[in-house]
């Protein structure tokens, strides 16, 4: 089931989809990310993770515009512990290396530390392959 979150202008800034075939949640973040939007979106993705007993998240930031440093501390200290509580173990994060969002992603990676198995990728294929390998190792 696809969930779309919209900003105050009615523009979709995040789609969340549970991919049953691959047994992971796919987040596609789009455009500029506000603090409130990041919180709402990150919280919204916890529902399909918990509902589907899903341990894998594919988080796509390739269409994000600008940094989102304003939400990094909240993600690391609030969201990540709750995500692990509902069962998340692996977090594949795709980002364009040349974007301002990449520095925010690096800060998030450092802040999450050892709570989750997290890796950053520049391509969808690499991220998907890493999640598939993690799933094989878990079985």
Residue 18 belongs to some domain of the structure:
no
Cβ atoms within 10 A of the Cβ of 28, count? Answer: 20
Residue 20 resides in a domain: no
Would residue 66 count as lying in a domain? Answer: yes
The pLDDT of residue 5: 98
9 domain-assigned: no
- How many residues are given for the chain? 139
Residue 113: count of CB within 10 angstroms of its CB: 10
Q: 8-15: which pairs have CB atoms within 8 A and are 24 or more residues apart?
A: 13/37, 13/41, 14/41, 14/44
Q: Closest Cα partner for 107 from 56, 59, 63, 71?
A: 71
pLDDT tens, residue by residue, 40-87: 999 999 999 999 999 999 999 999 988 888 888 899 899 999 999 999
CA end-to-end span of the chain: 25
* Percentage above 90 pLDDT, the chain: 71
Q: Is residue 4 part of a domain?
A: no
At residue 75, φ and ψ (nearest 5 deg) are -60, -45
Write out pLDDT tens, residues 105-120. Answer: 555 555 566 668 888 8
137: confidence class by pLDDT, cuts 50, 70, 90? very high
Residue 77, domain member (yes or no) = yes
Residue 129 lies in a domain: yes
Domain, as residue range, for 79:
44-90+106-139
- The pLDDT, as a whole number, for residue 30 is 96
Give dist(CA 25, CA 102) in Å, integer: 21
Residue 63 pLDDT = 93
pLDDT bracket for residue 103 (50, 70, 90): low
Q: Is the pLDDT assigned to residue 93 strictly greater than 80?
A: yes
pTM, whole model, 2 decimals?
Answer: 0.88
**What is the pLDDT at residue 107?**
57
Structural domain total, the chain? 1
Q: Supply the Cα-derived Rg of the chain in whole angstroms.
A: 14
Confidence grade of residue 12 (pLDDT, cut at 50, 70, 90): very high
């Amino acid at each position: 089931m696809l969930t779309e979150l919209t900003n105050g202008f009615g523009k979709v800034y995040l789609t969340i989809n549970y991919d049953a075939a691959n047994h992971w949640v796919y987040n596609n973040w789009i455009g500029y990310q506000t603090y409130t939007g990041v919180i709402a979106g990150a919280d919204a993705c916890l529902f399909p993770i918990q509902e589907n007993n899903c341990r894998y998240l594919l988080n796509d930031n390739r269409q994000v515009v600008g940094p989102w440093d304003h939400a990094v501390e909240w993600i690391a200290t609030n969201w990540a512990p709750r995500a692990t509580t509902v069962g998340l173990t692996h977090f594949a994060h795709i980002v364009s290396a040349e974007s301002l969002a990449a520095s925010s992603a690096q800060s998030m990676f450092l802040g999450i530390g050892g709570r989750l198995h997290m890796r950053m990728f520049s391509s969808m294929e690499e991220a998907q392959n890493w999640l598939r390998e993690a799933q094989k190792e878990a079985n």
